[in-house]
Amino acid sequence: MMRFLLLFSRQGKLRLQKWFTPIPEREKKKIVRDMTTMVLARKPRSCNFLHWKDLKIVYKRYASLYFCCGLDAEENELIALEMLHRYVELLDKYFGNVCELDIIFNFEKAYFILDEFLLGGEIQETSKQVVSRAIEASDMLQEVRCCPVGTDLRSVFPSS
Amino acid sequence: MPAPIRLRELIRTIRTARTQAEEREMIQKECAAIRSSFREEDNTYRCRNVAKLLYMHMLGYPAHFGQLECLKLIASQKFTDKRIGYLGAMLLLDERQDVHLLMTNCIKNDLNHSTQYVQGLALCTLGCMGSSEMCRDLAGEVEKLLKTSNSYLRKKAALCAVHVIRKVPELMEMFLPATKNLLSEKNHGKEAELCGLLYPALVPQLVRILKNLIMSGYSPEHDVSGISDPFLQVRILRLLRILGRSDDDSSEAMNDILAQVATNTETSKNVGNAILYETVLTIMDIKSESGLRVLAINILGRFLLNNDKNIRYVALTSLLKTVQTDHNAVQRHRSTIVDCLKDLDVSIKRRAMELSFALVNGNNIRGMMKELLYFLDSCDPEFKADCASGVFLAAEKYAPSKRWHIDTIMRVLTTAGSYVRDDSVPNLIQLITNSVEMHAYTVQRLYKALLDDISQQPLVQVSSWCIGEYGDLLVSGQCEEEEPIQVTEDEVLDVLEGLLLSNLSTPVTRGYSLTAIMKLSTREILNRIKKVVSVYGSSIDVELQQRAVEYNALFKKYDHMRPALLERMPIMEKTASNGPTEIVQTNGETEPSVPDTKHPPLVTQPANQVRACDVWTYHCWGYICVNELHSGLLVIPPMTAYNKNGLKIEFTFERANPNPNIAVITIHATNTTEADMTEFVFQAAVPKTFQLQLLSPSSNIVPALNQGSITQIIRVLNPQKQQLRMRVKLTYTHKGLPVQDLAEVNNFPPQSWQ
């Protein structure tokens, strides 16, 4: 399973942090510091995999953002790269030509998309369409000002 | 109160801050506003405020005062509130907070909500950060949702169930019935996840699903670069791995499909290689037939030639794991692996190095060593220590000849000498001693190396030691292997003296040099040596000073013994096969076992106190009991510490070795009265600057009429060399009555503490 997923800029500013195991706050800060230091220090054409404590770290740079995840030692690093790529595609589809600013100003949306893609550190849904439709439907639900108790919204928003 | 500012507005404002301090100020102001808004229990803007708080939390500022607000948001009826509330819970709360448990009820309600997206939020939160208690409480709800017809919820419930089972393994039973039906669904569900934990009988079904995936038509939704649902393929392969791991039958059932995936998968993109990689991992882990294993290793071999360095990295890591079990198959790719030593990427180089060492054997040692030595020359400093150690180990195991071995060692010492580990020095010395016929060749080469470069300490130490031992061979110019060089004794002494004086030499190296000089004193350059040795008798370095003083004494008082003491060392027997420290430790003790009737056995030192050079020093002395030598130099008169009521206590002294700050006092208690003194206890106390250690007494009865005595050893550490004073307390029973006395002992002889 994935232990954590971090997004940070080239200056080391954190843009998103998702933790899949319970870790004390101080330790989270330390991990973030370690990751940013390690990844930002990498030379441009090095391989995308690192070893840190007993975890495999997979990172990839997309424009000005680094996507960095920590995996258990038995995980497949190559497929993890694909996972990061899929997440970027989902963000791209949602925001239309996504850039770092989109994620800064809409960080909560980035989290919502991630929560439709991964759950408990594992991939939840492999279809891009299904994820996008779920997010769209949830967004529409937000438009409804109040849901009186008992409203069956399945009639309004059919499940996919 | 004006409406709190919007989230985007806040983000924009904070980003305009030009300094950390400015940002901090803005944040503090906003936090204060948010706090008062919370206090007012404002439902309308709670969501906005918590969102802002989450942003500030991401910047690194504390946000714990928002935890309860997240709970209120979760309990709200508005979907927007719930969304932010759950997000806040996942970011701000974890199972260590007590507040965490308060969520349980909310989640329970939401798991039963009429809107699937709300249910989804609850499942997601539970599956991400539910504690064991929460999982226990809510497992039933999750299980119910596993059976729903709604596939959106089912997949979330499945992954949530995985989390529950991870947290509370005993609950696994509960989920078994539900999962049985999951796999029969004809979809790309993630339910397979759950099943992996459960049934070996699922193997045929999984195999079928995998087959369908690779054979089935194009499914644009799930496709990645032309491969249908690679994520699911990888998942299934992982499951097969878990199921086949210790099960022969399952493993056999998978053989075909694994071979099929291995041969049919497109490898032009990373995605295909990811699937191949997972296949290889599975093949290596289950009980597969050998043909399949060879196939897997060949795939890894092909990976090594791939342009993508990620793939090369992954191949090297996997090969490293299999090199022990499938050694021959991996050997076939040796040349490719050795080529990877020249790769630019640091991680790849390191793995290639480890793998190369694992592949070295008697047949390929010469070729491999050439490559590895070349690598040692050119690699980054971070690799040099490990590479050097690896070379030594490999050379020791597989050296085709002694000369080759010595040459290899020389090469390492001269190219990476400063990175060689300290423990290699005694190892090398032992190796050289044992290659008797190579002594002349070795000492000559080492001498020449010293002439070139005296900065690399391990090289210098080994060289000095050898010159000390085999200096006669060097000077006499007998060398069969190479053109002998002409060296005079004075030149040799020049070099060794140069080491003593050089700033590049560490204290340890200086110790080696001094000892080596001493050993050369069996020749005519005696006067010069005497001069050097006496100069160092007042060196600031305590170790050097001690050695010089001892060697001086050797010249003066024990000159008749000197030649015998400084004789060449006998061949050391290598005791255990494990690491170098063994040798250092046992040398002090195995010496007596080497039969040599001319000399009395060496005093055994406690193994862990003796450093390698200490052992050599004491060897140099030969077999004189060092304590004797010391007491010869420093005779301390005994004294009477206490004499009252028929009880007399005498102290005798020794200065301990190797630490001159310790005085070892032996007390002798005797009794002149007619009755025994029983239950005798001697206690002592010393001033703060000293440390005292009292060992066990020989007995606790002082026999009457001087028929015997009690002896007890006291060790006093006196680092500041202050005057020794002691307060003693004596308790004993005499003629049935308890006696107790206190006394001060001040009349210690100066030699015991100076």
- State yes or no: pLDDT of B220 exceeds 80: no
Query: CATH 2.60.40.1230 residue ranges in chain B?
Result: 639-752
Alpha carbon distance B509, A105 (integer Å): 63
Strand ordering across the sheet containing B677-685? B677-685, B726-734, B737-745
Q: Are B721 and B689 in contact (CB under 8 A)?
A: no
Which amino acid would we find at residue B67? Q
As a whole number of angstroms, the distance between CA A111 and CA B482 comes to 73
Q: Give B13-50 as a DSSP string.
A: HHHT--SHHHHHHHHHHHHHHHHHHHHTT-HHHHHHHH
Nearest Cα neighbor of B335 from B304, B289, B311 is: B304
Residue-wise pLDDT for A120-136, tens only, equals 898 888 889 999 999 99
Q: Is B516 in contact with B498 (CB distance < 8 Å)?
A: no
Q: Of the spans B298-302, B465-469, B484-488, B736-740, which averages the highest pLDDT?
A: B298-302
Q: How far apart, in whole angstroms, are the C-alpha atoms of residue B244 and residue B203?
A: 8
* DSSP of B483-519: PPP---HHHHHHHHHHHHH-TT--HHHHHHHHHHHHH
Give the pLDDT mean for B379-408.
87
Question: Of B53, B59, B46, which is closest to residue B20 (Cα–Cα)?
Answer: B59
- B606 beta partners: none
Tokens of residue B719, six digits? 């680092």
The span from the CA of B41 to the CA of B686, in Å, is: 70
Predicted confidence band at B654 (pLDDT cuts at 50, 70, 90)?
A: confident
B60 — alpha (psi -120 to 50), left (phi > 0) or beta? left
- Neighbouring-strand partners of residue A68: A6, A59
* Contact (CB, 8 A) for B536 and B514: yes
pLDDT band at B431 (very low <50, low <70, confident <90, very high): confident
Instruction: Check pLDDT > 90 for residue B10.
Output: yes
CATH architecture of B639-752: Sandwich (2.60)
Give pLDDT, residue B663: 82
What is the per-residue pLDDT for B525? 65
Name chain B contacts of A147, Cβ cutoff 8 Å: 77-79, 115
A127·B281 Cβ contact <8 A: no
Residues in chain A: 160
CB contact under 8 A, B83 and A138: yes
Q: Please check whether residue B558 is in contact with residue B577, taking contact to mean a CB–CB distance below 8 angstroms.
A: no
Instruction: Assess contact for B77 and A146: CB atoms under 8 A.
Output: yes
CB contacts < 8 A, A to B, total 171
- Rg over CA atoms, chain B: 39
Shortest alpha-carbon distance between residue A157 and chain B (Å): 9
Chain B residues touching residue A142 (CB < 8 angstroms)? 79-80, 83
Q: CB B8 to CB A105 under 8 A?
A: yes
**Cβ contact B345–A123 (<8 Å):** no
Closest residue of B to A106, CA-based?
B8
pLDDT at B481: 65
At residue B219, the pLDDT reads 61
Q: Do A49 and B222 touch (CB under 8 A)?
A: no
How far, in Å, CA of B161 to CA of B175, rounded?
8
Of B25, B94, B91, B97, which is closest to residue B58 (Cα–Cα)? Answer: B91
Comparing CB atoms, the residue among A45, A49, A149 nearest residue B347 is A49
pLDDT exceeds cutoff 60 at B575: no
Amino acid code (one letter) for B105: N
A48 vs B55, B271, B310: nearest CB: B310
Question: Which chain A residue is nearest to residue B120, measuring alpha carbons?
Answer: A116
Is A111 in contact with B156 (Cβ distance < 8 A)?
no
State the average pLDDT over residues B243-271.
84
Burial B319-344 (b: 16+ CB within 10 A, else e): bbebbeebeebbeebbebbbebbebe
Three-state SS at B665: strand
For residues B224 and A79, is the Cβ–Cβ distance under 8 A?
no
User: With contacts defined as CB-CB under 8 Å, which chain A residues touch B83?
Assistant: 108, 112, 138, 142
- Strands of the sheet with B647-655, listed across from one edge: B639-644, B647-655, B662-671, B710-717, B691-694
**Secondary structure of chain A: what % helix, strand, coil (to 5)?**
40, 25, 35
Mark residue A61 as left, alpha or beta (left: phi above 0; alpha: psi -120 to 50; beta: remaining): beta
Interface test with B, best of A50, A55, A79 (most B CBs within 10 A): A79
Q: Do B155 and A154 touch (CB under 8 A)?
A: no
Please report the pLDDT score of residue B8 as a whole number.
93
Chain A nearest CA to B389, separation (Å): 22
User: For the ranges A62-66, B278-282, B336-340, B587-591, which has the lowest average pLDDT?
Assistant: B587-591
For residue A16, what pLDDT is reported? 96
Closest chain A C-alpha to B353 CA, distance in angstroms: 16
With contacts defined as CB-CB under 8 Å, which chain B residues touch A137? Answer: 117
SS3 B644: strand
**Nearest by CB: B117 against A50, A122, A141:** A141
Residue B410 is predicted with a pLDDT of 84
Question: How far is the CA of B182 from the CAs of B177, B241, B739, in angstroms?
Answer: 10, 20, 87
Instruction: Tell me which residue in B59, B274, B345 faces A47 most closely, judged by beta carbons.
Output: B345
Please answer whether residues B142 and B136 qualify as being in contact, where contact means their C-beta atoms are separated by less than 8 angstroms.
Answer: no
Q: Pairing state of beta strands B737-745 and B726-734?
A: antiparallel
Distance between A96 CA and the closest CA of chain B, angstroms: 18
Q: Would you tell me the crossing angle of helices B7-15 and B43-58 to the nearest 10 degrees? A: 30
A110-124, B208-222, B524-538, B722-736: least confident range: B208-222
Return mean pLDDT, chain B: 81
Q: Of residues B2 and B66, which shows the higher confidence score? A: B66
For residue B4, what pLDDT is reported?
Answer: 86
pLDDT band at A91 (very low <50, low <70, confident <90, very high): very high
pLDDT class of A152 with cuts at 50, 70, 90: low
Q: How do residues B20-70 score in pLDDT, each as one tens digit?
A: 999 999 999 999 999 999 998 888 899 999 999 999 999 999 998 899 999
A82 → closest Cβ in B117, B162, B270: B270
Q: Which of B234, B235, B269, B278 to mutate to test the interface with A (most CBs of A within 10 A)?
A: B234
Q: Which residues contact A119 (CB under 8 A, 6 or more apart)?
A: B123, B124, B127, B128, B156, B159, B160
Q: Which of residues 53-72 of A touch B (CB under 8 A)?
A: none
Percent of chain B with pLDDT over 90: 21
Q: What is the pLDDT of residue A31?
A: 96
Query: Is pLDDT above 70 for B443?
Result: yes
The stretch A3-26 carries a mean pLDDT of 94
Task: List the single residue in B with minimal CA-CA distance to A18.
Answer: B91
Mean pLDDT over A100-117 rounds to 95
Q: What distance in Å separates the CA atoms of residue B474 and residue B492, rounded to the nearest whole number?
A: 9
**Chain A residue whose CA is closest to B165:** A120
* Residue B347 pLDDT: 85
Whether A66 has a pLDDT exceeding 60, the answer reads yes
Instruction: Return all residues near B601 (Cβ < 8 A) that are at least 6 apart.
Output: B591, B592, B623
Whether residue B347 and residue A160 make contact (CB cut-off 8 A), yes or no, is: no
Q: CB distance B117–A137 less than 8 Å?
A: yes
Q: Is A15 on the interface with B (CB under 8 A)?
A: yes
Interface with B, mutate which of A84, A115, A151 (most B CBs under 10 A):
A115
Contacts of A122 in chain B (CB under 8 A): 159, 162, 190, 193
Residue B493 tokens read as: 């002494």
Of A16, A107, A147, the CB nearest to B78: A147
- Tokens 């995840």 identify what position? A69
Mean pLDDT of B262-284: 90
Length of chain B: 754
pLDDT at B589 over 80: no
* Closest chain B residue to the Cα of A139, Cα to Cα: B80
- The answer, yes or no, to whether the previous bond of B658 is cis (omega within 30 of 0) is yes
Query: Is the pLDDT confidence value at A84 over 90?
Result: yes
CB contact under 8 A, B313 and A148: no
pLDDT band at B529 (very low <50, low <70, confident <90, very high): confident
The minimal CB distance from B79 to the residues A76, A119, A142 is found for: A142
What is d(CA B178, CA B175) in angstroms, rounded to the nearest whole number? 6
Predicted confidence (pLDDT) at residue B583 exceeds the cutoff of 50: no
Q: How far is CA B615 from CA B113, B425, B567, B605, B631, in A?
A: 79, 13, 15, 9, 20
Question: Is the pLDDT assigned to residue B629 strictly greater than 50?
Answer: no
Instruction: Please name the residue ranges forming H helices in B485-621.
Output: 489-501, 507-519, 526-535, 542-556, 562-565, 580-590, 612-621
Please enumerate in sequence order all residues whose Cβ is within 8 A of that of B467, keeping only pairs 6 or more positions apart, or say none: B443, B446, B447, B450, B474, B492, B495, B496, B516, B520
How many angstroms separate the CA atoms of B418 and B289, rounded? Answer: 48
Q: Is A26 on the interface with B (CB under 8 A)?
A: no
- Which residues fall within 8 angstroms of residue B273, CB to CB, at 6 or more apart? A78, B267, B303, B306, B308, B311
Q: Which residues contact B460 (CB under 8 A, 6 or more apart)?
A: B450, B454, B499, B505, B509, B512
pLDDT, tens digit (0-9, with 9 covering 90-100), for B673-714: 888 888 888 888 888 888 888 888 888 888 888 888 888 988
Q: Is the pLDDT of residue B558 over 80?
A: no
Compare all CA atoms of chain B with the CA of A32 and give the residue at the minimum distance.
B60
Mean pLDDT, rounded, for B570-574: 67
In the prediction, which pLDDT does A145 show?
Answer: 52
3-state helix, strand, coil in chain B (%, to 5): 60, 10, 30
Using a CB-CB cut-off of 8 Å, the residues of chain B touching A112 are: 83, 87
Other Cβ atoms less than 10 A from the Cβ of B555: the count is 16
The yes-or-no verdict on residue B403 having pLDDT over 80 is: yes
Please tell me which residue of chain A has the smallest CA distance to B311: A78
Quick one: pLDDT at residue B16?
93
